[in-house]
Structure 1
Amino acid sequence: MITAAPDITDKVYIVTGTSRGVGVEIARTLHRRGARIGMLARTLADLEENAREFGDRALALPCDVADRAVAQAAVTRIAEHFGGIDGLVNNAGLSRIAPVERLSEEDLLLMFRVNVIGVVNMVQAVLPHLRARGGGNILNISSSSVRDPSEFPFLGGYAASKAALERLTQELRIEVSRDNIAVTLFSLGSTLTHFGTGWAPEITEEAFAEWDRRGGAAPATMDPSLPAEAVVRCLESPPGACANFIEFQPYAAMEKGRRMAD
């Protein structure tokens, strides 16, 4: 018997990293499906501007997911505002670029704080609310750089943080399966975003030179609306089944010199 995909109208989803890029596109896609959205990011001005288009169906809160107390408070406020939580999309992420030989402890710790500890903080804050609903969804966004180092040089530290996230996601899936909570790992390929924000200009130039030396080969970049649609379809999986792992990639050839992407 085929089970129809559930209607997510009025369901409540938290999406982190919704100031721009894939995060805000996920929020838009959820809104088009009739869901209500808790929008979290570090920059309040961008958040509020994005949330205006959703009216009272969105609540935008500034949140550093790497701060456990702040993450907990944001989740509590969203649950109180909307009357519960049905799912979480851990989209917030941060990258720094450097060869492993010159990777600073500061940058490495920063990436692990946001990309790993931040996800753990959000999951721990959300789980009691999902259990109160009788189940729900958690979707963690990773990067194809974990499996394909040829996409762009000097992302070893970033890829290592995402690899850690992937192993945590596998463990989480087993731990919460008895609670009717679906856990999906969504690995994102090259996407037009502000992924390179915060990169040191001189190391970035060095990385492009190394990219050229390696052949400059990379897949096309996607518009962020494409993975956003795929993420929401994961949340619409029929009860009792979900996608454990998705590698979402563009498939057309990319011109060299295009804007940096995930």
Structure 2
Amino acid sequence: MKIEPGTCALVTGASSGIGRAIAEALARRGAQVGLLARSLRELEALADALPGRHVALPCDVGDAAAVQAATDRFAAEAGGLDLVVANAGLTHYRTVAEQPLAEVEQMTRVNWLGTVYTVHAALPHLLAAHRGHIVVVSSGAGLRSFPAAAAYGATKAAQRGYSTALRHELAHTGVSVTTVYPGEIATALHDHERDRMPPWYRAKDARPATTLATKILKAVEHDRRELYHPPEVRLLGIVNGISPKLADRMLHRLRGASAAPRLD
């Protein structure tokens, strides 16, 4: 699909990070954006700062009814729905033995079920129009999960399986799907846990969210099945798919022992 003036796009997790960068890139292209996140004040400030007219949609993506209401409201106010970006997500990096179940449940509700609720709410609008595109922002952790990020990686792997099957289910409907696998991106995602990030995490290698947003819009317009950014993320997925042991050895060498403590 072509992103142009008049395109109606819904973005979850729009108030910061990757979601905000996507919303800004869409607005620069003339799209009308439904900005969905929890904070009304932040969304209204963003809507005012963007060129064009946009809709602030305060909503918890972990609440199915709220997501449905926000999606329907945006489609009604914008006059349709063309593009949906399921981006909302959060992290809690801890070992399985140390992690409270409440953190696992929160990541499951936001990262995984938030994606399900978003697609469930948006899909009838897209199918009725016989056109449109869905973007699911997963993670490189969905290809190979890392120590201290088991639950987070599991939610991202769930997104991967879901979006891969969905793309095939939507064949011949006019609606398509792109799954995005970012590596380390410069956002506030880990601000609440900087003091306990594992040694394998490399904040200095984080790429700008604006670059990823530009690549996502290009991937939509070219109907790409998947987007890996940076490209090394794709290599990780390929190697891990062929030989997890080889991927472990590669990561052990590149990221240190904390990325793969067991090589047997």
TM tier, smaller? 0.7 to 0.9
Question: Which shows bigger deviation, 16-25 or 217-226?
Answer: 217-226
Q: Paired residue for 1:231, among 198, 203, 216?
A: 216
Q: Paired residue for 2:30, among 29, 34, 49?
A: 34
* TM-score, normalised by the number of residues in structure 2: 0.82
1:15-58: CA deviation from partner (whole Å, max 9, x where unpaired) = 00011111111111111111110000011111111110235521
Q: Paired residue for 1:248, among 205, 225, 229?
A: 229
Structure 2 segments unaligned to the other structure (5+ residues): 233-254, 256-264
Question: Which shows bigger deviation, 155-164 or 218-227?
Answer: 218-227
Letter of the 1:176 partner, please give it: L
Larger fraction in helix: 2
Q: Paired residue for 2:67, among 68, 71, 78?
A: 71
Contact 2:37/2:60 (<8 A) preserved: yes
1:147-199: CA deviation from partner (whole Å, max 9, x where unpaired) = 3556xx51111011100111011111122223111101000111110111443
Superposed displacement of residue 115, structure 1: 0.8
Corresponding residue for residue 160 of structure 2: 166
* TM-score, normalised by the number of residues in structure 1: 0.83
Is 2:151 the partner of 1:157? yes
Superposed displacement of residue 145, structure 1: 2.0
Superposed displacement of residue 12, structure 1: 0.3
User: Which has the bigger relative contact order, CA under 8 A and spacing at least 6?
Assistant: 1
> How many residues are paired up?
233
Superposed displacement of residue 217, structure 1: 6.0
Corresponding residue for residue 190 of structure 1: 184
Instruction: List aligned pairs for 1:35-50, cutoff 5 A.
Output: 35-50=31-46
Assess, with a 3 A threshold, how the Cα gap between structure 1 residues 188 and 47 changes in structure 2: closer, same or farther.
Answer: same
1:46-88: CA deviation from partner (whole Å, max 9, x where unpaired) = 1111110235521011011110110000001101101110010
Instruction: Tell me which stretches of 4 or more aligned residues in structure 1 moved more than 4 Å.
Output: 216-219
Contact 2:27/2:52 (<8 A) preserved: no
Q: Hey, what's the Cα distance between the residues in 2 that align with 1:83 and 1:223?
A: 32
- Of all paired residues, the percent bearing the same amino acid is 33
State the Cα RMSD in Å. 2.1
Structure 1 segments unaligned to the other structure (5+ residues): 257-262
Superposed displacement of residue 103, structure 1: 2.2
Q: Hey, what's the Cα distance between the residues in 2 that align with 1:218 and 1:198?
A: 14
Superposed displacement of residue 126, structure 1: 0.5
Corresponding residue for residue 120 of structure 1: 116
